[in-house]
Amino acid sequence: MSYLAFTGSKTYQSRSVLDGAEFTMKKGEILSLIGPSGTGKSTLLKCLAGLEQLDSGRISLDGMDVTDVSARKRGVLLVFQQALLFPHMTVFQNAEYGLKLKKTSRELRRRKVEEMLEKTEMQHASSRYPHQLSGGEQQRAALARSLVMEPKLLLLDEPFASIDPLLRDKLRIWVKGLLKDQNITSIFVTHDMEEASLVGDELAILHDGKILQKGPAREIYMHPANETVARFYGDGLTVSGDFFASRSLELSDQGWEGTVLGETYKYGHVFYRIAVESQIITLSSGSPLNKGQTVFIRRRNEEEAVK
Ligand code: ADP
Ligand code: MG
């Protein structure tokens, strides 16, 4: 039996947001939930946390049906995009708060909080107030506050969205290490594919109220379940109604006509951004290309279109 099994539908004012979305998770798994903005990722997390009720569906967690269990008793914690720390409490007091509610003894609280502040590299800021913290520190304090509670499931809703890109990159690797170290089953919401692949053991793609595919990033990339996943995950091209992922395409001396828009650099290589039929794809080239140059693109022989 799965550690977590979710199936659910949710409508807001006659607008269907979740429409029989279904997935399961193993204990200790980190799942990156991705999908375009407004697609219902936060709604799904709120339903899991018990902050919103499903119209229909079922959630089982750690061998228990928690569909109708209150948010307080579910053992599911949600860390939001903004850290939502109590402003009048220090980092230590914030981290200690949940344990106090659980009537944990003062001594045990101190031990647990100190240990977690060390793990989240926040011990230096233990007696600071939220307004005295950087964005990254606020998120780490929020994580510490959740992790001391040893949740059955931890939900992270775009936690690094408002943090600058360099630091964000470090935090991605760091948070994955921390969650693995603590063996915390977690769902990490992001709309960034790279972030999703870095943090998650697996990715789940939410689209039109359904989980279209769940699996390791590589599997989703190499074997997209359908055209929407292929389009959403990778860059590619639709020609005469057929979609081809970029890896299916190469520059050639004939084929579909495109115009070179410019260069882009990734992983130590030069790629070219090419406009084809009012779409933009990114391809590598054996020889340098110039901006504005006309090129031709064909599909590699062995690759079929994704239907
Ligand atoms: P995401 O997190 O993927 O960006 P959300 O789950 O926040 O998407 O929102 C999904 C859709 O549900 C959006 O269209 C949003 O406007 C709508 N929505 C979210 N919360 C509410 C609410 N409390 N009342 C009405 N509509 C809502
Ligand atoms: Mg959201």
DSSP assignment of 8-40: EEEEETTEEEEEEEEEEE-TT-EEEEE--TTSS
| Residue 204 lies in domain | 4-222
Ligand nearest to the CA of 80: 2
Shared domain check, 250 and 128: no
Distance in Å, CA 196 to ligand 1 centroid: 21
Per-residue model confidence (pLDDT) at position 303: 55
pTM of the model: 0.85
Nearest CA to ligand 1 atom 19: 43
Report which ligand 1 atom has the smallest distance to the Cα of 158: 2
Q: Which residue is associated with the tokens 């809703």? A: 157
Shared domain check, 197 and 266: no
Shared domain check, 199 and 164: yes
Nearest CA to ligand 1 atom 21: 12
Shared domain check, 165 and 135: yes
Per-residue model confidence (pLDDT) at position 246: 79
Q: What is the rounded CA–CA span in Å between residue 203 and residue 51? A: 24
Residue 305 located in a structural domain? no
Look up residue 87 and give its two tokens. 């402003």
Residue 307 located in a structural domain? no
Residue 230 located in a structural domain? no
pLDDT per 10-residue tile (average), the chain, 307 residues:
96 96 98 93 97 97 97 94 91 96 95 94 95 92 94 94 83 91 95 89 96 93 84 76 82 93 87 89 92 93 59
Q: Residue 189 is part of a domain; what is its CATH number?
A: 3.40.50.300
Report which ligand 1 atom has the smallest distance to the Cα of 191: 3
Nearest CA to ligand 1 atom 4: 38
Torsion of Cα atoms, 161 then 162 then 168 then 173, to 10°? -50
Q: Which residues line ligand 1 (CB under 6 A)?
A: 12-13, 17, 35, 37-43
Per-residue model confidence (pLDDT) at position 304: 59
Ligand nearest to the CA of 33: 1
Report which ligand 1 atom has the smallest distance to the Cα of 43: 6
Per-residue model confidence (pLDDT) at position 215: 96
Q: What is the rounded CA–CA span in Å between residue 56 and residue 53? A: 9
SS3 of 281, please? Answer: strand
Q: Residue 244 is part of a domain; what is its CATH number?
A: 2.40.50.140
Per-residue model confidence (pLDDT) at position 279: 84
Distance in Å, CA 298 to ligand 1 centroid: 40
Ligand nearest to the CA of 46: 1
Domain boundary among 222, 249, 276: 222
Shared domain check, 145 and 49: yes
